[in-house]
Amino acid sequence: MERREALRLLATGTALQLAPRNFLAALREARKLLDTKAAPRTLNAQQFVTVKTIAELILPRTDTPGATDVGVTEFIDLMLTEWYDDRDRSRFLHGLADVDARTQALFGENFAEASTAQQSEILIALGGRMAGNAGRMRDPREDSDSLPDANFYRMLRRLTLTAYYTSEAGATQELHFEIIPDSHDQCAALLTTKGSPEIE
């Protein structure tokens, strides 16, 4: 599997449509190919912490792993670096800056330093704006960048869910995905008490 194919598989959710027996094998191969412990390449330290905080609020650790446990933030940085074009990457980063600006205006601190209740308030506002824009017809003259917060939150949620549910832990522990064996031998030779095989 080529690196670009691994990114396509993970980014587009194609893996979710694979036959069950190939699902985790393909995801494991793709993630192994992309697994690097390098420092973030698109997100700076502050942005990385903000994305990590938001992802963990979307998918917190419960009796199953949370977003941080499966490397959601690293996955998002990888997709921003190697998959997103300049326009979408810029839209994402602009929306991320808007989250901190909003939190600063309301609570006097960056999103990652705000209380959980304050962080939740910001995300509820972003989610409401995203939902409010989902059902309306877009004016073709309207620039798609005019609502960076709504676009950003939609992008972030999609990346977070894709990263989580294409991870082995997300697929097996959260979705209860079961690996089906590649083959099943219906008739197998059994040894009798005399030691000669017979077919049942």
User: Are the C-beta atoms of residues 19 and 180 closer than 8 Å to each other?
Assistant: no
- The number of distinct structural domains making up the chain is 1
> For residue range 75-119, what is the model confidence (pLDDT) as tens digits?
899 889 888 889 999 999 999 999 999 999 999 999 999 999 999
Ranking 38-47, 93-102, 115-124, 130-139 by mean pLDDT, the lowest is 130-139
Q: How sure is the predictor about 135, in pLDDT bands with cuts at 50, 70 and 90?
A: very low
Q: Once rounded to an integer, what is the mean pLDDT over residues 9-13?
A: 56
pTM above threshold 0.85: no
Ranking 39-43, 97-101, 184-188 by mean pLDDT, the lowest is 184-188
Residue 168, pLDDT score: 72
Q: Is the pLDDT of residue 127 over 60?
A: yes
The β-bridge relationship of strands 197-199 and 189-191 is antiparallel
Residue 36, pLDDT score: 56
- The residue segments making up the domain with residue 130 are 3-199
Ranking 4-8, 40-44, 45-49, 89-93 by mean pLDDT, the lowest is 4-8
Q: How sure is the predictor about 128, in pLDDT bands with cuts at 50, 70 and 90?
A: confident
